[in-house]
Structure 1
Amino acid sequence: MTETALAAPAYAPHRRTFDYGKLVNGFFWLTVASGSVVFVEPSPYDILILVTVLLWSVRGFTIHRAILPFVLFLSLWTFGGFVSLIPYWNEADPVGFMYHTLFISTTGLFYALFLTAQTSRRAELLLSAYAVSCVLASAIAVTTWLSAFDGSGEWIKDGRAMAPFKDPNVLGSYMVTGALYLIQRLLLGRFRLWWLVVPSIMLILAALFLSFSRGSWGAMVVSTVMIVAFLIKTADTRRMRLRVVAGAAGVVFVVFVGLMGALSVPDVRDFFFERAHAEQDYDSGPNGRFGNQERSIPMLLDLPNGFGPLRFRDTFGLEPHNSYINAFASNGWLGG
């Protein structure tokens, strides 16, 4: 046999190799996209996040020094909660609350570590999946609200949409980031799939409106103003600035038209103006939400361990409705 015959062929077919990174990113995307389906426990998100963390950690990871302060303060906050839990270990609700807090803290640490590598790509994965979860939640919320406007539906609370969450305020707050991401895409001129993006924005804003959450409405307005201001400030060209301004004006016009259309329905209009008041009946008075917050501060100053996890409502009959007061009340001075 000649030497030529023994030589390797000039062309060898390319053999596909398994991309483990794509598998991890795929599970990550699916996990975030399932984040709005929480009316069952454990939720799909609870299961998928565990699978995603396991797949991601198998091949090792690095801890960037930039996230060390976050890790430190998150650990202190969680540890403070368990210290405050000590007198209530025999109560199921506080114990469950703190184990849930530990779970959320752990997943928060995962997100911080995960996004320190391939940050731009993974941030886009996260936000696109989050937007999908918002579209899914808003479709359920709007559909269930329209089918049970009288508030008799299981997924309606006092005439306010809340599905697939357990509280209208959570639904409203969840919608904000998804709407901002899609609005930003349009303002930056990313018109790919615009025919899908525009209806998605309208659906998400409809769910946000039907949650009748004053805090969520305010967060949406303030965040939109901020993102438009930042885009104008960081635009490279005058043409881009004009595009952002024109796009923002278009969004405002569409929202205005949609709002006027919704308010043309008498029942919706009456309920909207009722909810739009800066202060509701349950807010005012010494035993109202704000009164409870004010009365709790002197008490918490004398309690290094706070009231204990979930104990604020046992003391005042209502949840604190304030993240900072809740931190001191549930996690003590250390957590606060």
Structure 2
Amino acid sequence: MSALVQDQRAFEPRLAAVTLFGSAMIAFGVFLSGFVMSEPAPYELIMAGQIAIWFLLGLTISRTVGLLLAMLLVFNVGGLLAITVMKDMSGAPLYAAVSIFLAMTSVFYAAVIESRHQRLTLIFKAWVAAAVITAILGILGYFHAFPGAGAFTRYDRAMGAFQDPNVFGPYLIAPILYLMHRLLTGKLLQSPLLIAGLLVLVLGVFLSFSRAAWGLLAFSSLMLIVIMLLKERTGAFRMKILVLSIAALVLFAVALTIALQFDQVSNLFTTRAKLVQDYDGAHMGRFQRHKIGFLLSMERPLGIGPMELGRMFGEDEHNIWLKSLTTYGWLGFVTYIIMIGWTLATGFRYLLRDRPWQPFLMISWIVILGHCLIGNVIDTDHWRHFYMLLGIIWGCFALEHRFQRQSRRPAGLA
């Protein structure tokens, strides 16, 4: 018996080292999600290797995470069936492979979070680090601060180390909410660093000139404050939120006024601030393509295949609900609706419960809800951070279900 105890004690440091290394690799993968200038990006390579190694070494999938896996698999089966009706399949297999890979990353994040909820802090800190760096690159690129800085812009809009400003802007929202939450709940000594990070990220969102990102930032910030007011009902906390909110609005107004003094910023802001652009409401514009696409999908139960609508009309769907119909068929569309509905309904149910993972669930749920709203004018089915958020939420669901099972056990068994 003593020899067995000695063996266990000798094994514990090695197990702790392996766990620490595994968590560090997860954080590194999250960090790489902020740098996607080409495909396949380093994120794909690192995450594909990690997923395989973790599951080979015994990472388990609970029934809760298994439910997410089942819905994502059915969703992608719809995508594979849609490919079979395409006449020109060029690019379609790669598109399907990326969809399946992103689905697996979602399941992976959920599983590793369920196994150790402390990884949530690590994930969000790595996300903040990546967001700040890619935002700085986008800001420097926008102002052409050094030779070749234009590589971090597109159409005179900041895009950081991404391929599209419309993905770059929304990517920064979850880190902004995380820093806001830290600012509202943390110590005063940490405030200067948190405020500096927020200024960089908010400026990055603004210079992306993405209307979806602007709307997402406004919606998510307001939702965070409202939910925190519902959870924390002390007068001191409410006063703190009120003071910081007023200060933030004043600071934003001052920063916006200064930024608009630059002609380059002012002209583009005036153009992008219009709710409906010419390419939205014009003949065969975005909204008319939406109508045509939905009517076409009613006649094609298997869908028309990935990127096919873009080939037909010169522009992609720019609507996640239409995208799920055309690219994943009726099967994929119904599955996607069920998955998103289940995610939002269950997340709302657990939103205010006092758990160690509650702040991360709250932030991710708010941002996912915001992504569903902007999904009416933009495609999100291949956004890496969307699947990361989905995995975080379902990982928190699995933690909650395990917590409930343990709390129902008799005291001795627990």
Q: TM-score, normalised by structure 1?
A: 0.89
SS state at 1:70 partner? helix
- 1:1-336 equivalences under 5 Å are 17-18=13-14, 19=16, 20-88=18-86, 91-119=89-117, 121-147=118-144, 153-191=150-188, 193-336=190-333
Tell me: CA distance 1:117–1:152, structure 2 relative to 1, closer, same or farther (3 Å). Answer: closer
Distance 2:78 2:189 in 1: 47
Please tell me the residue identity of whatever aligns with 1:161.
A
Tell me: CA distance 1:331–1:215, structure 2 relative to 1, closer, same or farther (3 Å). Answer: same
Q: Percent identity?
A: 26
Q: What stretches of structure 2 of length at least 5 have no aligned partner? A: 1-8, 334-414
Please tell me the residue identity of whatever aligns with 1:264.
Q
Question: What is the deviation of 1:90?
Answer: 6.0
Distance 1:163 1:271 in 2: 18
Alignment RMSD: 2.2
Distance 2:292 2:256 in 1: 38
Instruction: Spell out, residue by residue over 1:118-145, the C-alpha distance to the aligned partner (whole angstroms, 9 max, x if none).
Output: 22x1221111111111001101101111
Structure that is richer in helix per residue:
2
Tell me: CA distance 1:45–1:249, structure 2 relative to 1, closer, same or farther (3 Å). Answer: same
Distance 2:293 2:193 in 1: 48
**8 A contact 1:24–1:55 mirrored in 2:** no
Instruction: Spell out, residue by residue over 1:235-284, the C-alpha distance to the aligned partner (whole angstroms, 9 max, x if none).
Output: 05221222222222222222222111111223311210110000111111
Q: Which of 326-335 and 35-44 deviates more? A: 35-44
Tell me: CA distance 1:24–1:241, structure 2 relative to 1, closer, same or farther (3 Å). Answer: same
Q: TM-score, normalised by structure 2?
A: 0.73
Question: What is the deviation of 1:218?
Answer: 0.2
SS state at 1:28 partner? helix
Instruction: Spell out, residue by residue over 1:274-299, the C-alpha distance to the aligned partner (whole angstroms, 9 max, x if none).
Output: 10000111111340001100111111
Question: What is the deviation of 1:101?
Answer: 0.8
May I ask how many residue pairs the two structures share in their alignment?
321
Tell me: CA distance 1:122–1:89, structure 2 relative to 1, closer, same or farther (3 Å). Answer: farther
**8 A contact 1:185–1:191 mirrored in 2:** no
Q: Greater Rg, structure 1 or structure 2?
A: 1
Question: What is the deviation of 1:55?
Answer: 4.1
SS state at 1:173 partner? helix
**8 A contact 1:134–1:178 mirrored in 2:** yes
**8 A contact 1:134–1:204 mirrored in 2:** yes
Distance 1:288 1:324 in 2: 17
Question: What is the deviation of 1:204?
Answer: 0.9
Tell me: CA distance 1:58–1:299, structure 2 relative to 1, closer, same or farther (3 Å). Answer: closer
Greater relative contact order (Cα < 8 A, sep 6+): 2
Question: What is the deviation of 1:191?
Answer: 4.5
SS state at 1:163 partner? coil
SS state at 1:306 partner? coil
Please tell me the residue identity of whatever aligns with 1:47.
L
Q: Which of 101-110 and 211-220 deviates more? A: 101-110
Distance 1:258 1:266 in 2: 15
Distance 2:154 2:207 in 1: 11
**8 A contact 1:188–1:244 mirrored in 2:** no
Q: What stretches of structure 1 of length at least 5 have no aligned partner? A: 1-13
Distance 1:23 1:268 in 2: 44
**8 A contact 2:176–2:202 mirrored in 1:** yes
Instruction: Spell out, residue by residue over 1:71-127, the C-alpha distance to the aligned partner (whole angstroms, 9 max, x if none).
Output: 2221111110001112348633111111111111111111121222222x1221111
Q: Which of 158-167 and 206-215 deviates more? A: 158-167
